[in-house]
Structure formats: structure tokens, C-alpha cells
Amino acid sequence: MTLTLNRNTQAKKVGVHCADWMVNSALTQWADDLERIGRQTEGSKPQPIDWSLVGRGVLLEHFDLEVIGSIAESVAQKANMRFQCLDHNAMNRLEHHLDHGAFNLPTIVYLQPGPWQGGKEDNSGPEWGDERFIYDEEGCHGIRRLINYFLKVADEKKCQGILVTGIRKPAQMNVGLRRLGLFDRRIRIPELDPIWLADNFIQSAGGELFDETIKSDKTCFGILLSRDFPTQRRRSLLHAAIRRQVWQRGSAIGLQDIVQYAAYGTQDAPNLTLDTASEDKILRHAMHEAGHAVIAYYESVERKLPLYCSVNKRDESLGVLIAAPDSAEHQEEDPSFSDLIHRIKICLAGRAAEYLLLGHDQVSARGASSDLEHASNLARVMCAKWGYSLQQTNSGLARSNLLVIDDDSPELQKNKIEEDARQLLSHLYMQVIEMLKTHQATLERVAYALVEKRSLFARDFELLLQPQTSDYFKR
């Protein structure tokens, strides 16, 4: 059985050149280490190699498992090493490859991620790779045994192969393989800068596919890519949809098209069923989404216009809002309390707008369920895990909620957190109500515009926020 070279050119076609990750100092250092090891094998008198210095087994950590193989290949190319990719079936013959000298030259052997790794898979991520292979527990255990054997006897058999695989998090790998001499080196691959991501996608897909609205706002485009098309698979689907749309209409696509894809996916036509609803129901949906949009604007940093708002029904969703990427601090790794409060207010704004314009009894009973659930979870985490205090008038009151609550905490403490979260939501809801009252005329203009147009973009909001353009949609 011959090992196959996996060039994985798909990644280079749809958006990110894997060599771009090489700016990461950890990957660069690893490649330099491998290149240095490789130089020791050259010449008539090759020097003894201490493979423990570079690691016989290396874990590359990134949320998108689909690109890790290509990144490993880029490292192999930079280090002047061969690159081999083993799928589930080929791994069953790892011992055979070792005994027959398949790795007599410096080689990076990439093991495709899968249940064979034996750890805990992240349910929030996509499913494991290739469904053609049946991953039974006995077979996976056998693969782990072979990998263990390979790493332990590689020096004895003068093997120059390094095993590499991908993980989303360390817990994904069986602890039996995470020991000294086995997979004992882990490299975390960082996320790409949004502008860099946008540049790479445009370059890879072809600049002729995109108009100036995208090329002039690469920050927004890059954030949409990273947030709504975070994996190689999703970016490849976006690329295919873009090419199809450009071919169909004969002109380049703009940022509004990308926003539509972000809102409704890359299928040819979203499942729009709102036209069959009654006028009263359509108006209620429009008021709900208008509330989200108005608060997203007036509560944002520097009054950022929403990118998109729609009352087109898709699956269980009755509408959608895409706020400006920089409407708040939007730092997922280190959000501030202000950033989180901004998100909670947007969640509460749909229910608040319905209440303000229709009255309590006419509010949709189920329409805000997901919004309220998200707002409640944020409020609980803020109060239980992050030490947020409802009282902030002085340092003495601000320090009143610094105790972290976990599953082992007494019920009395958990009950207090629930009450604090309830008070926080109530307090923010009233702030949202007051803000919507202040801008009720704008709220109504946006709602009626949504009834008529179904979808609004940033340029529409720019006009709707000007009182003198209240008849804009009647032309």
C-alpha cells in the first residue's frame, strides 16, 4: 500500500493561502527547527538526530480542522521535508510503513483527525471528516496502539518521520497519547486579521468577482468572513455561490450580496414564506426587527448603521438583524461589560418594540424566546462568572459581587445570582424602552419600511434615520 501525497489545493482556491499562517512565530520556529534537523541528515557523514528537540508527535490546534493539513504541508515545504497524509484506513498499516522504510527521509506524516484520537469531541464544531470510514471503538483503539508503538520505536528504527494531527482543543486527544515522547508538542494556530482574510479571499477567488463596495471596506468583509464563514468548507461554498451569482447576472457582487449570504446562507433561494402571513403578523414581525435595528444603532459606538435587517422568514426565524461589525468593541476573546450590555440590549429590543407599539397583550408570545434566552445566559454569566455588580456608583458597591459561582456553590448563592441577573435584565429592558420612546418616530419608519421592502441595508437606514425622508419608500 502506497502512501498518497495530499496537496489539498482546495484551501488555496477558496480564500486563505495556508502559507499566510507562517507569520505565526510558533509555526515559523517549528519549521526552522525541522529545517535544522534536516540539514543534519545531509552530507556523507550525517549527524545523529535528537528528534525529541522538535517532537516526534505534534498537535496543531485550530478550530477549523479542514485547513490544518494544508498548514502542515506548508511547514513541510518550508522545511524541505516530504509530506504524507494518512487517512483512517492507511493508519491501520502504520506499522507496515515503518518496517518497510517508508520514512527513511525527513517526512511530516499528517494523520487526518477523527474519533481515533480518543478524546472528547466538541459538539459545537462540525462533525468528523470523511463519512466513508466507519470509526468503531475497537478500530480506533488499534490505531492509537499503532501510533504509540510508532512513536516509541521510531528512534530505534532510525525513522525520520514526524506524526502531526489536528485538534480543536487539547481534550480532543486521548491522554495516553499526550505523554512525553508521544504527542508532546502543541502549537496553537492564531486567527487571521480580518483585512488579511479579506485580501486573501479576494485574491484567491478572483478580484473581478467583487465590486468597489467590498474592496473599499475590507474590514467589514473580513469580519463577515471570519464570523459567518469561519471554516474552509463554508468559505468554499461561499466562493461557489459568488461565482454562480456573477455568472447568472453578468456583474460583480457587492457587500450587500455578502450580507445576504451571511443572513440566509449560500443556497440559491432562502425559504421565504412571510408573504402568506396576515398583514398584522407581518407588521408585528417588522416592529420586532425594527426594535433590534434602532437599538443596535443608537446604542452603538459612534452610531454605526446596521448592515442588514429583514423580515423574510427562514426556517424557525421570523427575521434577522446584522449589526455593524464594529458597533461595539466586539472583542470575543476579551469583551468589556459595556460590550456585553450592548448585546443584551439588542436582544431585548425586539420584545420592547412590540410592547411599546402594540401593547403588552399583543406581544408575540414566542417571537422573542431565543432573544430572551441569549440575554438571560449573558446576564447570568456576567453576574456569576465575571463579577458584574448592579451597583457601580463607588468602589465599595462595585466590589459587592466578586465571588465566582459554580456548580458546587450553595443554592443560596445561586439563587442570589438568579435574582441579580433578573434585576439586570429588568434594568436594561427599561433603558431600552426609554431609548425606543425617545426615537419612536424612527422606530415606526423602520418598521413600515420593513413591511414594504422586507429587507433593509445600511444605505436604507441612512435615509430612514433622517426625519425629512419619511416618505422615501413611497416613491
Q: Is there a single domain that holds both residue 151 and residue 204?
A: no
Q: Are 296 and 321 in contact (CB under 8 A)?
A: yes
Whether 427 maps to a domain, the answer reads yes
Q: Report the pLDDT value the prediction gives residue 410, as an integer from 0 to 100.
A: 67
Whole-number Å distance between alpha carbons of 25 and 30: 8
Q: Is there a single domain that holds both residue 243 and residue 352?
A: no
In the chain, count H helices and then E strands: 18, 8
Q: Is there a single domain that holds both residue 211 and residue 335?
A: no
Whether 319 maps to a domain, the answer reads yes
The contacts of residue 443 (CB under 8 Å, 6+ apart) are 287, 290, 291, 294, 353, 356, 357, 436
Count how many domains the chain has.
3
Q: Is there a single domain that holds both residue 239 and residue 145?
A: no
Q: Is there a single domain that holds both residue 184 and residue 215?
A: no
Q: Report the pLDDT value the prediction gives residue 115, as an integer from 0 to 100.
A: 87
Q: Is there a single domain that holds both residue 367 and residue 309?
A: yes
Name which of 159, 157, 154, 142 is nearest 92 in CA terms: 142
Q: Report the pLDDT value the prediction gives residue 438, as an integer from 0 to 100.
A: 93
Q: Are 294 and 353 in contact (CB under 8 A)?
A: yes
Q: Is there a single domain that holds both residue 152 and residue 214?
A: no
Q: Report the pLDDT value the prediction gives residue 148, as an integer from 0 to 100.
A: 87
465-470: Cβ within 8 A, 24+ apart: 465/297, 465/305, 467/441, 467/442, 470/441, 470/445
Name which of 16, 471, 460 is nearest 259 in CA terms: 460
Q: Are 313 and 274 in contact (CB under 8 A)?
A: yes
Q: Is there a single domain that holds both residue 225 and residue 299?
A: no
Q: Is there a single domain that holds both residue 160 and residue 202?
A: no
Whether 1 maps to a domain, the answer reads no
Whether 3 maps to a domain, the answer reads no
Helix axes 232-249, 194-205, angle to 10 degrees: 50
Last residue of a domain, one of 241, 264, 287: 264
Whether 458 maps to a domain, the answer reads yes
Last residue of a domain, one of 170, 188, 206: 188
Q: How far from 72 is each of 77, 110, 132, 165, 394, CA to CA, in Å?
A: 9, 7, 23, 9, 53
Whether 269 maps to a domain, the answer reads no
DSSP, residue by residue, 2-18: --B----THHHHTT--G
Total residues belonging to the chain: 475
pTM over 0.85: no
Instruction: Identify the bridge partners of residue 183 per DSSP, sorted by sequence position.
Output: 57
Task: Say how many Å lie between the first and final Cα of the chain, rounded.
Answer: 71
Domain containing 376 — which CATH number?
1.20.58.760
Q: Each residue's pLDDT tens digit in the chain (475 positions)?
A: 223 333 333 334 444 555 556 666 788 888 888 888 777 666 556 666 777 788 889 999 988 888 888 888 888 888 888 898 888 878 877 777 777 777 788 889 999 998 889 887 655 444 555 555 566 788 888 888 888 888 888 878 778 888 999 998 888 888 888 888 889 899 988 777 788 888 888 988 898 999 999 988 888 888 888 888 888 888 889 999 999 999 998 999 998 888 888 888 887 654 444 445 667 788 888 899 899 999 999 988 778 888 888 887 766 667 888 887 766 655 556 678 788 888 899 999 999 999 898 888 888 877 778 888 899 998 888 887 777 777 665 555 556 666 667 666 667 676 777 888 898 899 999 999 999 999 999 999 999 998 888 888 888 888 888 766 555 444 4
Q: Is there a single domain that holds both residue 360 and residue 304?
A: yes
Name which of 403, 373, 374 is nearest 388 in CA terms: 403
Domain containing 134 — which CATH number?
3.40.50.300
Q: Are 363 and 355 in contact (CB under 8 A)?
A: yes
Instruction: Provide the residue range defining the domain that includes 157.
Output: 10-188
Q: Are 346 and 324 in contact (CB under 8 A)?
A: no
Q: 217 is written with which cell numbers?
A: 471596506
Q: Is 45 left (phi over 0), alpha (psi -120 to 50) or beta?
A: beta
Q: Is there a single domain that holds both residue 162 and residue 215?
A: no
Half-sphere exposure of 169 (CA within 13 A, CB side): 8
Q: Is there a single domain that holds both residue 75 and residue 106?
A: yes
Whether 2 maps to a domain, the answer reads no
Q: Report the pLDDT value the prediction gives residue 42, as an integer from 0 to 100.
A: 64
Whether 339 maps to a domain, the answer reads yes
Last residue of a domain, one of 230, 264, 298: 264
The contacts of residue 238 (CB under 8 Å, 6+ apart) are 14, 225, 229, 261, 266
